[in-house]
Amino acid sequence: MKRAGIPTEEFIYSGHTACPGCGALLVARYLLKVLGKNTIMNIPACCFAAIPGTFPDTCLGIPLLYNAFETTAATASGVEAALKIKGKKEKINVVGFAGDGGTADIGIQALSGAIERGHEIIYVCYDNEAYMNTGMQTSSLTPKGATTTTNPLGKKGGWRTRNKKNMMDIVAAHDIPYAATVNPSYPMDFVKKIEKAKNTKGTSYIHAYSVCPTGWRYQPELGLELGRLATETGLFPLYEFENGRYIINYKKKTKEVLEYYKLQGRFRHLSEDFIKEVQEYIDKEWQKLLVKEECSNR
Amino acid sequence: MVKKIMTGNIAAAWGARLSRAEVIAAYPITPQTIIVEKLAQFVSDGELKAEYLHVESEHSAMAACIAASQTGARTFTATSSQGLVLMHELLHWASGARAPIVMANVNRALAPPWSVWVEHTDMMSQRDTGWIQFYAESNQEVLDTTIMCYKLCEDKDIQLPAMIGLDAFYLSHTSEIVDIPDQEKVDKFLPKFEPAYPLDVENPLSIGSLSMPHQWYPEFRYKIQEAMERVIPKLNKIEEEFYKEFGRKYTGPLELYNTEDAEVVLIISGAATGTVKETVDILRKKGIKVGVIRLRMFRPFPSDYLVKALSKISFIGVIDRSFSFGHEGAIYSEIKASLYGLNAPLIKNFIVGMGGRDITTDTITKIYENCFSCLKNNKIDIPVEWIDIKV
Ligand SMILES: Cc1ncc(C[n+]2csc(CCOP(=O)(O)OP(=O)(O)O)c2C)c(N)n1
Ligand code: SF4
Ligand SMILES: [Mg+2]
């Protein structure tokens, strides 16, 4: 059954151990609502590895297979291959569900391999923009200006000076059949994209915006608002890469980066000049995305 | 049954084919490449029905095998040296996951300096990963052990992975006559793989989740050891069945050659055993009482079997084709530990054939001579001696 386009069935039950307001949980919740019961989920070391509960308990209504930190895509490949040879793949979704560190850093080789081989898996990166499980260290998806425990503020100002890696472009460069960004603040868009991933022949990649009140230092109840701001500022644009074409799903880039940055403790130290620099970069990236959409649809 | 001339690599591929491996994930490395090429050929010729994954590293090969095994497929991979040690993290994972993967490892030295030739350090350094370890002497043994390993590893009482070592070039690239067992007979011998706890959407389990100190972690580890303790008795039974079905006899974790009345016994593993046996024959003709024990299995370590086999021996020379830096050869350490507290004979360690340096009958004759001279003086000259070293 669906309500406002969102399936009503739940696969995450009570008893999870996530922090209040955790975005990862919300990402998994919408994901499983769409994928349903016939889903096997692979989880590496990350916050989400601790969330469903300790052995033998689980608060998820689907089978989970935990895997080594950097092996999510290889593990999902193995599950998919086994299901195929057993003639069971048709009805089962194989999902890799990893953090930004497990995806963009240590797991990028395995991910590249799996996409290149064309396994029928849905790889979801829930991007909370740092290694949260180990206490908020910098990953290659930590945004410019953020402080983390390995980019501590310090006397000389030690915040991160590099911009986020563009994972969507990286997977697009693999000629992946389907990739999309999703944001739980836009549930209908989210659900529609997981539906597409489910029906994709070959690998699909989902890059999910995933708030983390603990690591980003803001009040948990602000999560959905932050999500909307992330998209409305163009920091986290909603778009798809489907059969070689970029499609932007939400074009109202109406807000300033500052509005988003000022709500979070991890950006509190930044000067207005610095944030202006970020704004310029984001504006450029947005322009690039518009061009990518235009060129790829010609 | 067909007899064919084949290398150890081809024998390993045939072992996987006859065992009907369902998922193969592998990455090429000299001198293992021919195993994965041959398997790819079997699959593309339709002679083996399997999913073949061209993974991007050995690390992913092992990860995919573990996952496929936990999903319920029989899995095979092959590697060597750098590839094996790259897998290290996942070797621990495989045994923790109780995934009965069978892997051929072509024993090769580790870099630097680069060397593609035989040495056992690659596998010896994986001894604590919870894998059953075999070291083969012949290509026939490679093929037969692969089939037997599936039966052993998939047994409900065991559920552990196994690696079969075959010496670089001496086995991997050397041709011998090998009996290829009939497929129907193998099918009869080796039942279908039925994992105890497969991933199943009808029975959703959470496999491999966190365990706090007061919960179940120590019990999971303890159960791996319990299974290890069942391996040798189970192997003995499987070898008996194998003998009945295929007519080839294997002798459990050890192979004894002229040890019954021997004064000096060498202990060795791998293909160089053949050279030692030949030396034994030469020396025996001269009336010198020598013998050799081949260690077929390094994990679980067959302490009881060795203690029994060595009970009447005056002098033991342990040949290690590997080294634990800062200490001594790994087999030597294990044998000394096994004999501790018993009325142990004199025992000396010889480090021989590192990086593929040839082990000849001359080398072995000199080693036996050295053993006899130590025995005569009732004193070990150098407890751990590197043989044929130019410095
Ligand atoms: C090989 C290896 N290196 C390091 C770790 C430690 N580790 C566990 S989780 C983690 C961070 C995970 O970060 P991310 O993937 O972003 O997920 P998050 O915890 O942020 O949800 C690290 C570094 C590990 N488990 N394995
Ligand atoms: S630290 Fe962040 S990502 Fe991890 S459980 Fe808490 S809110 Fe979720
Ligand atoms: Mg993270």
Q: Within 10 Å of residue A108's Cβ, how many Cβ atoms?
A: 17
Query: Per residue in A161-175, pLDDT tens?
Result: 999 999 999 999 999
Q: Output the CA torsion B94→B99→B102→B108 (10° steps).
A: 0
What span, in angstroms and rounded, lies between the C-alpha atoms of B99 and B208? 12
Question: Cα B29 from chain centroid?
Answer: 18
Q: Is B50 on the interface with A (CB under 8 A)?
A: yes
CA nearest neighbour of B21 among B141, B164, B193, B216: B193
pLDDT at B1: 76
Whether A90 and chain B come into contact, CB under 8 Å, resolves to no
CATH domain A9-296 topology: Rossmann fold (3.40.50)
* Average pLDDT, integer, range A157-162: 92
Asked if B294 and B257 count as a contact pair (C-beta separation under 8 A), the reply is yes
How many Cβ atoms are within 10 Å of A11's Cβ, its own excluded? 20
For residue A290, the model assigns a pLDDT of 98
Say whether pLDDT at A1 is over 80.
Answer: yes
Q: How far apart are CA A271 and CA A259, in angstroms?
A: 13
Q: Which residues contact B168 (CB under 8 A, 6 or more apart)?
A: B31, B80, B106, B107, B108, B109, B116, B117, B118, B119, B356
Q: Do A67 and B199 touch (CB under 8 A)?
A: no
- Find, among B113, B242, B101, the residue nearest to B158 by Cα: B101
Buried b / exposed e over B40-51, threshold 16 CB at 10 Å, is: bebbeeeebebb
Specify the residue with its C-alpha closest to ligand 1, atom 3.
Answer: A69
Say how many Å lie between the CA of residue A287 and the centre of ligand 3: 27
Q: Could you tell me if the CB of A214 is within 6 A of ligand 2?
A: yes
With contacts defined as CB-CB under 8 Å, which chain A residues touch B212?
54
pLDDT, one tens digit per residue, over A3-41 is 988 999 999 999 999 999 999 999 999 999 999 999 999
pLDDT average per 10 residues of sequence, chain B (391 residues): 95 98 98 98 98 98 98 98 98 98 98 98 98 98 98 98 98 98 98 95 96 96 98 98 98 97 98 98 98 98 97 97 98 97 94 98 98 97 96 90
Looking only at the bridges linking them, the beta strands covering A64-66 and A39-43 are parallel
Find the closest chain A residue to B215 by CA distance: A55
Q: How many CB pairs under 8 A join A and B?
A: 158
Q: Would you call B333 an interface residue with chain A, using a CB distance cutoff of 8 Å?
A: no
Using the structure block, give the residue that is written with the tokens 């590249």.
A112
Across A251-272, average pLDDT:
96
Q: Classify the complex by whether its ipTM is higher than 0.95, answering yes or no.
A: yes
Residue A157: pLDDT above 90?
Answer: no
Within an 8 Å CB–CB cutoff, is residue B88 touching chain A? Answer: no
Whether A74 and B55 lie within 8 Å, measured CB to CB: yes
Prediction pTM value:
0.98
Residue A153 CB-half CA count within 13 A = 6
Within chain B, all domains assigned CATH 3.40.50.920 are found at: 254-386
Mutate to test the interface with B, among A71, A97, A203 (most CBs of B within 10 A): A71
Residue ranges per domain, chain A? 9-296
What are the C-alpha distances in Å from B349 to residues A227, B338, B381? 66, 15, 11
Q: What pLDDT is attached to residue B234?
A: 98
What's the CA gap between B42 and B26, in Å, rounded?
A: 14
CATH 3.30.70.20 fits B254-386, yes or no: no
CA A213 to ligand 2: nearest atom: 7
What is d(CA B239, CA B144) in angstroms, rounded to the nearest whole number? 10
pLDDT tier at A154, thresholds 50, 70, 90: confident
Q: What is the pLDDT of residue A287?
A: 98
In the block, tokens 């895997």 appear at A67
Burial class of residue A269 (count of CB atoms within 10 Å of its CB; 0-12, 13-18, 19+): middle
C-alpha span between A285 and A240 (Å, rounded): 15
* Half-sphere exposure for A213 (CA within 13 Å, toward CB): 15
Contact flag B69-A62 (C-beta cutoff 8 Å): no
Tokens of A288: 């690039």
Burial B237-272 (b: 16+ CB within 10 A, else e): ebbeebeebbeeebeebbbebbbeebbbbbbbbbbb
Nearest to B67 among A64, A65, A86 (CB): A65
Judging contacts by C-beta atoms under 8 Å, the chain B residues touching residue A73 are 60
State whether residue A115 sits within 8 Å of chain B by CB: no
CATH level 3 topology of B2-246: Rossmann fold (3.40.50)
Tell me if B204 and A63 make a contact (CB, 8 A cut-off). Answer: yes
